[in-house]
């Protein structure tokens, strides 16, 4: 297995108009930089049976729902939803929301995004 190093403007751009950037794909984890426009509505509450879904807010503001509780997240906030935990989020800041999204282990989420 090789080390991964991504330059500030590097990484593969995928998804909605290239607004998602692949930072890492390893068997133990995959990591994306996600960008959501101010008018982005929400990711409905859902659960994953096979991986943790984690979010780190880089810019903007999000409202997370996790197991029925609500949390506002500004830059520096972190949310981890273990496997089976109901979670979702929406952009509430009126500006672009940028988050790091980590899935552990890698279950093919990036590949599914590539094929949309």
- Look up the CATH number of domain 15-114: 2.60.120.10
Tell me: the pLDDT tens digits for 16-26?
Answer: 777 899 999 99
Tell me: the pLDDT tens digits for 27-76?
Answer: 999 999 999 999 988 999 999 999 999 999 999 999 999 999 999 999 99
Q: What is the 3-state secondary structure (H, E, C) of 60-110?
A: CCEEEEECCEEEEECCCCEEEECCCCCEEEEECCCCCEEEEEEEECCCCHH
> Do 101 and 34 meet the contact criterion of CB atoms below 8 Å apart?
yes
**Domain map (residue ranges) of the chain:** 15-114
pLDDT score of 2: 82
- pTM, to two decimals: 0.92
Burial (Cβ within 10 Å: 0-12, 13-18, ≥19) of residue 100? middle
């Amino acid at each position: 297995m090789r080390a991964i190093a991504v330059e500030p403007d590097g990484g593969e751009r995928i998804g909605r108009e290239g607004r998602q950037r692949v930072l890492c794909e390893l068997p133990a984890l995959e990591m994306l930089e996600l960008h959501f426009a101010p008018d982005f509505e929400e990711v409905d509450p859902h659960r994953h049976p096979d991986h943790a879904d984690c979010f780190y807010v880089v810019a903007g503001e999000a409202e997370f729902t996790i197991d029925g509780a609500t949390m506002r997240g500004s830059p520096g906030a972190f949310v981890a939803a273990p496997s089976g935990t109901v979670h979702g989020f929406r952009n509430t800041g009126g500006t672009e929301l940028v988050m790091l999204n980590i899935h552990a282990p890698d279950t093919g989420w990036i590949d599914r995004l590539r094929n949309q």
